[in-house]
Amino acid sequence: MSTLFDAIRSGDDDAVVRALRAGESPEADTEGETALYRAALANEAGIVRLLLAAGADPARGSGEGAGDLPLCGAACGGHTEVVRALLAAGARADQEEAYGFTALAWAVRLGHAETVRVLLEHGADPGRPGADGLP
């Protein structure tokens, strides 16, 4: 495991900064999972912002076949501040991950109303059909 991933796992912003300054890439991945995706899932808004400021791509997929998006991962957990950070960095509100799911579809299905509101404010299409063909 990298120092960067250890820092993300522990939620230590300062350790993330040290790892990045020591040369670890903000685009780092381990076993196919990107650092940004890991931080988004962990609801580490400060770390997400650090990785984005260091050059992490908010639209880069993670996981098997790069089918998991940081925005969708954050939306699944109702991590609204992470969603805001990703959108502010250029993540597209309606970008589809594997199997056609969007962040809005996840947030609606999982009942994260505040996250839904933020996604709609950033242009997510409420009428867009989901992976199952239903709006």
Residue 127 within any structural domain of the chain? no
Angle, alpha carbons 52-117-109 (nearest 5°): 95
Average of per-residue pLDDT across 47-60? 97
Phi, psi of 120 (to 5 degrees): -65, -40
> Which pTM does this prediction carry?
0.93
Average of per-residue pLDDT across 61-90? 95
β-pairing, 29-30 vs 33-34, is antiparallel
Residue 132 within any structural domain of the chain? no
Residue 56 within any structural domain of the chain? yes
Residue 12 within any structural domain of the chain? yes
Phi, psi of 97 (to 5 degrees): -100, -170
Residue 2: Cβ within 10 Å count: 14
pLDDT in tens, 100-119: 899 999 999 999 999 999 99
In the chain, the number of structural domains is 1
Residue 74 within any structural domain of the chain? yes
CATH code assigned at 12:
1.25.40.20
Report the pLDDT value the prediction gives residue 132, as an integer from 0 to 100: 77
Domain that holds residue 82: 3-121
Nearest 10 degrees: Cα torsion 34, 38, 41, 43: -130
